[in-house]
Structure 1
Amino acid sequence: MSIHIGAEKGDIAETVLLTGDPLRARFIAQSMLENVTCYTQVRNMLGFTGYYKGNPVSVQGTGMGQSSLAIYAHELIHSYGVKKLIRVGTCGALMPNIKLGEIIIAQGASTDSNTNRLLFRGLDFAPLADFNMLMQAFQTAKQKGINVRVGNIFSTDFFYFKDDPERWKIWTAHKILCADMETSMLYTLAAGANIQALSILTVSDNIITGAFGTSEDREKPILDIVDIALACL
């Protein structure tokens, strides 16, 4: 049993879908899995285990931001022996031609967070997705006729950052597709623990153009990315 999850050994599957919003974790579990049980409600950060085509799968809320995700990912890996972590979440597009609802698979994740430099003693670490999972997800999307983009993304510690209007120019100039708040930490922790990790994101807003969708607009793309993620079992 861990501090923040509090589940018993065996309650959590070796493959876990991660989502920032605990209510989205419940939505995913109820929509996509069978024989679902809730294994944690600690701090209302819900976690569920069910079955997809006979395979056990868990869905865990992590909260927003890299520090919050790090707590749950660490406990899932080191307390419960999880082998695959797949983030299914939202992002803000950083290219004006990327539309709302598009799906982005993060090949790598740059960051403005100091956490990696603390871990690597002032040096820069380039966190990457697991290649086999990335290829599985990409091929599954193509087979299902779902258009996806694959590339580098940017994980930021700031959701609201209005003091520097030039902030995004350096990232767009280097072909960064979108911004989220968790993927860089997920890939770093997975690399250190020698497990597989992937981040599949749907575009909920475009930071450059100012376009954004409602919470209802996000539900269909979320189920699409979960469908892709479950193929990585």
Structure 2
Amino acid sequence: MTTSPDTLPITRVPRTGLPARAVVVGDPGRAAAVADLLSDAKEVSYHREYRVFTGSWQGTDVVVASHGVGAPGAILLFQELAEAGVSTLIRLGTAGAIRPGIRDGDLVIADAAVRDDGVTQQLIPAEYPAFSAPEAVLALQRAARAADAPYHRGVVWTRAAFQPGFLPLPGEAYTAAGIAAIEMELSALYVFASTHGLTAGGALVVDGANADELVDTEATGGYDPHRNVVAEGVDRGARITLDALRLLASAER
């Protein structure tokens, strides 16, 4: 299939004209669910894992886009959204809790991320930090408080592999250091955004235990992100994320 000269090659989004603010999610189905919250929602492209909508949230024009699983593919979406005019991106995702006291369905607002993502190490030296824009953190916190939602702030661990393998992991050290949660894409967004002059933030809904934890499957049924408490948290998180984009837009006027 040939690519239209009016669209970008990986995601097939239009080369120009997208709104400046975006919610990015992993699942194409989640992108559609978030888009359902918008006024005048329109699907503008759907290619591979990249499903992209535009619409309006309480008067603020936004993009909702999916990036699939894993940072290498996700950073391709971030790149093409930026080329098409997006300058603020907030990732709405799910994560496994690490810090004690964080419950299923709670929101983790990520101040920064550990760069274990499998792609940014090939782009910039490991010493370069992965950090949220402070204004995005504060907007998410303000929106969470307004929604009376349970939330936590902290550093998250972005890790390329979902399942454990044969190599030892620094889980005990990260737990002792107070890492809040583990997920798979956020550090790539933070590094891409900060190196390209963009604003980025992360809001992660807890959907269970650390994927590397030894789980008693007979007692717990194992990892199951498809529970009502998680679905309710994601819906709440979507509204908080959209509200944070609205607050950021208001602050720029």
Written as runs of structure 1 = structure 2, the 5 A alignment for 1:73-222 is 73-78=78-83, 80-120=84-124, 122-164=125-167, 167-207=170-210, 208=213, 210=215, 212-217=223-228, 218-222=230-234
Q: Deviations over 1:3-35 (max 9, x none)?
A: 1121224552211110010111001111x1011
Q: After TM superposition, give the deviation of residue 177 of structure 1 in Å.
A: 0.7
- Contact residue 13 and residue 52 of structure 2 kept, 8 A: no
Q: After TM superposition, give the deviation of residue 2 of structure 1 in Å.
A: 0.6
Q: Deviations over 1:203-226 (max 9, x none)?
A: 011124746444242221112111
How far apart are the structure 2 equivalents of 1:37 and 1:113?
A: 31
In the superposition, the TM-score normalised over structure 1's length comes to: 0.91
1:56 alignment partner in structure 2: 61
2:13 alignment partner in structure 1: 7
Over the matched positions of the two proteins, sequence identity in percent amounts to: 23
- Contact residue 208 and residue 225 of structure 2 kept, 8 A: no
How far apart are the structure 1 equivalents of 2:146 and 2:49?
A: 37
1:226 alignment partner in structure 2: 238
CA RMSD of aligned residues (A): 1.8
How far apart are the structure 2 equivalents of 1:35 and 1:96?
A: 41
**Distance 1:166-1:3 versus aligned 2 partners, 3 A rule:** closer
Q: Report how many aligned residue pairs link the two structures.
A: 230
**Distance 1:150-1:67 versus aligned 2 partners, 3 A rule:** same
How far apart are the structure 1 equivalents of 2:23 and 2:118?
A: 25
More divergent stretch after superposition (169-178 vs 180-189): 169-178
In the superposition, the TM-score normalised over structure 2's length comes to: 0.85
**Amino acid in structure 1 at the alignment position of 2:33:** F
- The alignment partner of 2:34 has SS state of helix
Q: Deviations over 1:144-190 (max 9, x none)?
A: 21121000000001101142565411211111111000000000000
- The alignment partner of 2:203 has SS state of strand
**Amino acid in structure 2 at the alignment position of 1:62:** H
How far apart are the structure 2 equivalents of 1:209 and 1:224?
A: 29
How far apart are the structure 2 equivalents of 1:114 and 1:68?
A: 11
- Contact residue 99 and residue 206 of structure 1 kept, 8 A: no
- The alignment partner of 1:106 has SS state of strand
**Distance 1:102-1:165 versus aligned 2 partners, 3 A rule:** farther
Written as runs of structure 1 = structure 2, the 5 A alignment for 1:30-69 is 30=36, 32-69=37-74
Segments of structure 2 that go 5 or more residues without pairing to the other structure are 1-6, 247-253
**Distance 1:44-1:201 versus aligned 2 partners, 3 A rule:** closer
Q: Deviations over 1:9-63 (max 9, x none)?
A: 4552211110010111001111x10111111111252111111112211110101
1:16 alignment partner in structure 2: 22
**Amino acid in structure 2 at the alignment position of 1:222:** V
Q: After TM superposition, give the deviation of residue 136 of structure 1 in Å.
A: 1.3
- The alignment partner of 2:234 has SS state of helix
**Amino acid in structure 2 at the alignment position of 1:87:** R
